[in-house]
Amino acid sequence: MNYKNSRISRIRTCACAIIVMAAATAALASIGGGGGGGGDNLLGRMTGGGSIISNGLRVTHGLTLNCDATQNPQRLEINWAGNRFHLEQLNTAFCSKNPGIDAGQPSAAFNTYTGSGAGRFNGVSGSTIDVVFTDAGEPGAEDFASYTIHDAEGNLVLTASGNLDKGNHQVHNP
């Protein structure tokens, strides 16, 4: 084998090794990432609360949610038009950094919280919720909340989203 063929063979071997390493890294990230988002689940927690106005309806919430669904406490309450949802079990949690959102100071590893769980709707267990919350810095007017709640029979009872009308979300590093 001459020098040129030997060099091409080494380049091909390196290229194959890089492709295999990239594929393995992507597979491990999807397994360890907590599901969703296509990347690693970042650590920390989000606290706060406030209200949004969605289709003329004021919806209020209060939260303490960890990026690791197995950590406690996990607290979330949503109230609207005489109704209430109270989280009993957080099933999924995924924290990520959206480069288009600046959470300001103190600097935090993430600014977007996505989760799902089960709880009580008007005192009856078996309802489900999907949420997204963001922290876009102080004073909270650009923070975002989105909730979708189904009752125990699977009926949609609330879908609402928007920037906070009042309140603030705060991201905390671990």
Angle at 80 between CA 112 and CA 121, to 5 degrees: 85
Of 10 and 121, the structure prediction assigns the larger pLDDT to 121
CB atoms within 10 A of CB 167: 18
Say if CB 95 and CB 42 are below 8 A apart.
yes
pTM of the model: 0.77
Highest mean pLDDT pick, 3-17, 44-58, 93-107: 44-58
The pLDDT score that the predictor gives to residue 104 is 74
pLDDT of residue 149: 98
Q: How confident is the model at residue 14 (pLDDT cuts 50, 70, 90)?
A: very low
CA 59 to chain centre: 19
Which among 159, 169, 172 has a CA at the least distance from the CA of 54?
159
* Token pair belonging to 173: 């590093």
